[in-house]
Amino acid sequence: MSPVLLRQALRLLPHRAFPRTVPVLAFLVTTLAGCSVTTMPTQANPSCSWEQRVPNNSDAICRQTFRTIRALVRAQTTGDDRAIARLVDSRRVARHIIDFGRAVRSQRVGKYEAVPSIVIDLPGSGVIGANFQLAGIKPNGDKFKASESIYFHLRHGTAYVFTDQPEEAW
């Protein structure tokens, strides 16, 4: 609730009701503010949309997939080619991700991260497709954006990349 609306609501109340109303209004404001904050996706708590059907283990798939994407982005920013190679089964795709990371570092993109809101599809048995955005800030203040689509297999609780969309940066 905005401060302006709160002031207007308080003006409408008779002064006798004020002491009883303040705790109720405080409760409503904190409850409403809390609801809006908890639904925002974060790096620790991503949000996933589903192209078609939502599986029973959708939360686990979302977290595992985003954890791998975040690890790949972190490896790109630090130049950790081995971490990328461990998470990507295809040498061609690993090379694309490594080369893109070098380009991002050479452009000195700051606050480079995967946007924690991804779209997931399950095109086949054991296959997870993920569409997501990479974002950052260039040194001149311009926004850096790239869209990516990659495909994963889950093994032992970790999502491993096995292919991508060749026309994209990764």
106 and 155 assigned to the same domain: yes
58 and 111 assigned to the same domain: yes
Contacts of 27 (CB under 8 A, 6+ apart): none
pLDDT at 59: 93
pLDDT, tens digit (0-9, with 9 covering 90-100), for 99-139: 999 999 999 999 999 999 999 999 988 899 999 999 999 99
* Domain presence at residue 101: yes
Domain count, the chain: 2
Q: What is the largest CA-CA distance in the chain?
A: 73
Q: Kindly give the parts of the chain with pLDDT less than 70.
A: 1-38
32 and 69 assigned to the same domain: no
Beta-ladder partners of 144 = 136
3-class DSSP assignment, residue 34:
helix
